[in-house]
């Protein structure tokens, strides 16, 4: 039985986000595991939770008892849940699954019942300031073999820095030219009506230029009110979206029942979820089509496996969150679940850059629109700590969450 001898947390920034990667060491020579604990916006809090609270709790314990240790970590602070503590638990949880697979000589997908598919279909992100640029951006991705593309109308390249910051993923809505009252606070201004018109024009251009052979997705990023979201989802129906992401903010999850009743556009939500009470009514009440958990934010593979099983029973599909604020270790971990769960729908993915290849070996491989795990024992991914330290974290004030409506009020990000 391998006993836990140390737990470390490494913060590295090989691309645009601070990543937190946990390493759990054991008393068996060479037997260690990696896990993703990336809450990029509050990474120092996660590192403290791991090194000052969870490490002393777990030293000397049996690394084989994943469920026991998950529950121990979850209950230990008495107040539980939330993205900081869940990410801390996730880093250790994923590392324990990695250790169990290595000890057994099996890839983690084998521990989950084996593959039900060879690879996970991915979607990638396309954006442009106008319909023509958006069509070009989508075409570039489709030509690489990816058949699912999330399409956003982004701010123009000449837009102000604050608009670009808010529109980094392309949320349109006129940006700095939107109306505002005298004395309005700085921020990235967003006009919901203009946004709806821009997106509909973009999708019209995409369907007329590219036809029906590509699956189109769109992310509202919670920026509409329930009445706007209902109308928008109905207006989108002729374009046959693969799904509409985050039409409402998590503060208004109880309004999904109205949205479901109003439209046949497939609905996806979940990247901000941290506890089962948030997704349970949506899944069991058949109010959504895709559950988009950020696996580290819910506490790692152990709760994500449970959620996938629940989705399977209710005919909801998974679409785990996977932009650059999921570390390569997190991608490897969720990919093992993607290929093993019948509930899999699609995987969000952005290709790894040179620095990520420098730090990590055994990265999942993207070929012709499918992401493949390797067949090494455990999660199949390793980290070079020295290389990771060459890319130190940054801690700027976060501006992209400061979107504002035409009356000057903050809009949910």
Residues forming the site for Mg ion (CB under 5 A): 219
Query: Which two structure tokens, joined as six digits, stand for 174?
Result: 């006129």
* CB nearer to Mg ion: pick between 178 and 220: 220
Closest distance of CB 269 from Mg ion, Å? 9
Closest distance of CB 103 from Mg ion, Å? 36
Candidates 409, 402, 407; CA nearest to 171 is 402
Report the distance separating Cα 373 and Cα 334, nearest Å.
Answer: 10
* CB nearer to Mg ion: pick between 219 and 289: 219
Closest distance of CB 387 from Mg ion, Å? 29
Report the distance separating Cα 24 and Cα 132, nearest Å.
Answer: 49
Q: Give strand pairing partners of 361.
A: 382
* CB nearer to Mg ion: pick between 34 and 293: 293
Q: Are strands 148-153 and 215-219 parallel, antiparallel or unpaired?
A: parallel
* CB nearer to Mg ion: pick between 93 and 219: 219
* CB nearer to Mg ion: pick between 98 and 325: 325
* CB nearer to Mg ion: pick between 196 and 219: 219
**Cβ atoms 26, 3 nearer than 8 A:** yes
Closest distance of CB 333 from Mg ion, Å? 19
Report the distance separating Cα 254 and Cα 283, nearest Å.
Answer: 12
Query: Which two structure tokens, joined as six digits, stand for 164?
Result: 């670009």
Backbone angles phi, psi at 208, to 5 degrees: -75, -30
Query: Which two structure tokens, joined as six digits, stand for 270?
Result: 């979940």
Residue 371, number of CB atoms within 10 A of its CB: 22
* CB nearer to Mg ion: pick between 162 and 219: 219
Closest distance of CB 349 from Mg ion, Å? 13
Which residue has tokens 């954006």? 127
Closest distance of CB 321 from Mg ion, Å? 7
* CB nearer to Mg ion: pick between 245 and 356: 245
Closest distance of CB 169 from Mg ion, Å? 8
Closest distance of CB 281 from Mg ion, Å? 20
Candidates 340, 273, 260, 277; CA nearest to 308 is 340
Query: Which two structure tokens, joined as six digits, stand for 388?
Result: 């990771």
Backbone angles phi, psi at 330, to 5 degrees: -65, -40
**Alpha helices, H only, 296-409:** 301-314, 328-340, 354-359, 385-389
């Amino acid at each position: 039985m391998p006993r836990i001898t140390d737990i470390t947390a490494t913060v590295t920034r090989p691309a645009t986000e601070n990543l937190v990667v946990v390493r759990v060491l054991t008393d068996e020579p060479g037997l260690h595991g990696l896990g993703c604990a990336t809450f990029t916006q509050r990474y120092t809090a996660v590192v403290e939770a791991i090194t000052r609270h969870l490490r002393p709790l777990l030293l000397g314990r049996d690394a084989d008892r994943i469920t026991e240790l998950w529950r121990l970590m979850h209950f230990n602070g008495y107040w539980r849940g939330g993205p900081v503590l869940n990410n801390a638990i996730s880093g250790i949880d994923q590392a324990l699954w990695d250790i169990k697979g290595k000890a057994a000589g099996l890839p983690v997908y084998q521990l989950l019942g084996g593959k039900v598919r060879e690879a996970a279909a991915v979607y990638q992100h396309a954006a442009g300031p106008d319909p023509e640029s958006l069509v070009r951006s989508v075409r570039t991705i489709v030509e690489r073999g990816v058949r699912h593309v999330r399409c956003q109308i982004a701010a123009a390249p000449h837009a102000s820095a604050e608009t670009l910051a808010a529109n980094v993923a392309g949320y349109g809505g006129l940006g700095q030219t939107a109306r505002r009252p005298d004395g309005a606070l700085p921020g990235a201004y967003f006009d919901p009506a203009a946004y709806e018109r821009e997106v509909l024009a973009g999708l019209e251009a995409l369907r007329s230029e590219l036809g029906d052979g590509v699956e189109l997705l769109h992310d509202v990023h919670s920026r509409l009110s329930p009445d706007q979201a209902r109308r928008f989802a109905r207006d989108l129906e002729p374009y046959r979206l693969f799904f509409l992401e985050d039409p409402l903010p998590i503060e208004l999850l109880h309004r999904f029942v109205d949205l479901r009743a109003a439209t046949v556009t497939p609905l996806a939500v979940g990247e901000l979820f941290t506890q089962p009470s948030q997704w349970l009514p949506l899944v069991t009440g058949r109010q959504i089509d895709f559950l988009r958990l950020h696996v580290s934010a819910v506490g790692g593979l152990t709760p994500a496996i449970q959620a996938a099983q629940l989705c399977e029973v209710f005919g909801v599909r998974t679409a785990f969150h996977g932009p650059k604020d999921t570390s390569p270790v997190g991608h490897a971990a969720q990919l093992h679940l993607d290929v093993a769960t019948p509930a899999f729908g699609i995987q969000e993915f952005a290709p790894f850059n040179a620095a990520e290849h420098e730090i990590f070996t055994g990265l999942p491989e993207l070929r012709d629109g499918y992401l493949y795990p390797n067949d090494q024992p455990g999660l199949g991914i390793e980290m070079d700590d020295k290389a990771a330290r060459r890319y130190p974290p940054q801690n700027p004030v976060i501006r992209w969450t400061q979107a504002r409506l035409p009356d000057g009020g903050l809009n949910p990000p």
